[in-house]
Amino acid sequence: MLNEAWIEPGLNHYLMLSAIIFSLGLLGVLLRKNAIVMLMSIELMLNAVNLTFVAFSKYSGNINGQVMVFFVMTIAAAEAAVGLAIVASIFKRFKEVNIRFFEHLKG
């Protein structure tokens, strides 16, 4: 089972690692109740995607993937800022950041 091709890291290894991290992020969003932890799980998923971009960029010799990572990072930072601002306004009202309070956001 553990032959040379499995130990030596290649594109597959990075993709599998990224898939596992992405699934962990997904589970975090599905299972947690704390809105901030859910935001962090989204960051985790974005990181996994970035890892695939960089891995493909290296193994296909095409640097466009790294530009994509650059964009994803910027968007992720922006998303985190907005998410935290919304969470902060929720916290000011309910003194908790449980996801179920978000239904009060409408209107």
Interacting residues with another protein (CB under 8 A): 7-17, 19-28, 30-34, 36-37, 39-41, 43-44, 47, 50-51, 54-55, 57-61, 63-64, 66-67, 69-71, 73-78, 80-82, 84-89, 91-93, 97
| Distance between CA atoms of residues 59 and 12, nearest Å | 10
| Distance between CA atoms of residues 24 and 8, nearest Å | 24
Pair 66, 43: CB distance under 8 Å? no
Residue closer to another protein (CB basis): 13 or 104: 13
Q: How far is the CB of 42 from another protein (least distance, A)?
A: 11
Q: How far is the CB of 38 from another protein (least distance, A)?
A: 10
Q: How far is the CB of 107 from another protein (least distance, A)?
A: 14
Residue closer to another protein (CB basis): 88 or 104: 88
| Distance between CA atoms of residues 43 and 84, nearest Å | 12
Q: Token pair of 77, please?
A: 């930072």
Q: How far is the CB of 90 from another protein (least distance, A)?
A: 10
Pair 21, 37: CB distance under 8 Å? no
